[in-house]
Every structure is written in structure tokens, then in C-alpha cells.
Amino acid sequence: MEVTTRARVPHKLTDKGQATRARILEHAAELIYTKGVHATNNEQLRRAAGVSGSQLNHYFPTKESLVLAVIAWQADRVLAFHRGERFAS
């Protein structure tokens, strides 16, 4: 089995698609933080994010792609916070 180290870059998404993907990422990050990667499953995430299985699979076809996207999303949030006005000087 080949392990990739980069999250799949999503194709051009509509505003609604971007919002759905962001909602999935937010809920996935919370579930992974509280339960861990192995204890988080698609059913929990679908219920938490309010999406269907096909939507979840559309944006994140594998658990690996979801976890990598959550890591990238969290890293972007941390970097944005530290690049903000509060730390500018």
C-alpha cells in the first residue's frame, strides 16, 4: 500500500461546495480531536456535518484524504492566527 503525504487538492468548487467541504472539515477536526482518528467513522461525521454519504465521498473519497485535509486545514488556521494583527509587531 502506497502512502501519500499530500492532501488531494479539490477541483474548483462553487460557493455552496466550498461551504459544504468546510463544514465537513470543521466537524471532522472536532471528532478527530475528541475521539481520535481510528474511532471516528463516516456515520458519525455524516450526522455531525449534516451531509449524505455521497457528499462525504465526493469531497473526501478516502479516510486518508480526509485526515490529510483536516491537518492542512488546522495548520492554515494556526498560521493565519499567528500572522494576524495580534502578532504583527
CB atoms within 10 A of CB 19: 11
Residue of higher predicted confidence among 1 and 77: 77
The parent domain of residue 32 ranges over 15-87
Weakest-pLDDT range from 12-16, 22-26, 32-36, 56-60? 12-16
pLDDT band at residue 75 using 50, 70 and 90 as cut-offs: very high
Write out the three cell numbers for 14. 462553487
pLDDT of residue 6: 47
Task: Give domain status of residue 10, yes or no.
Answer: no
Please give the Cα distance from 32 to 80 (Å, whole number).
Answer: 21
Q: What are 44-67's pLDDT values in tens digits?
A: 999 999 999 999 999 999 999 999
Alpha helices by DSSP H, 36-62: 42-49, 53-59
CATH of the domain at 32: 1.10.10.60
Please give the Cα distance from 60 to 25 (Å, whole number).
Answer: 10
Task: Give domain status of residue 4, yes or no.
Answer: no
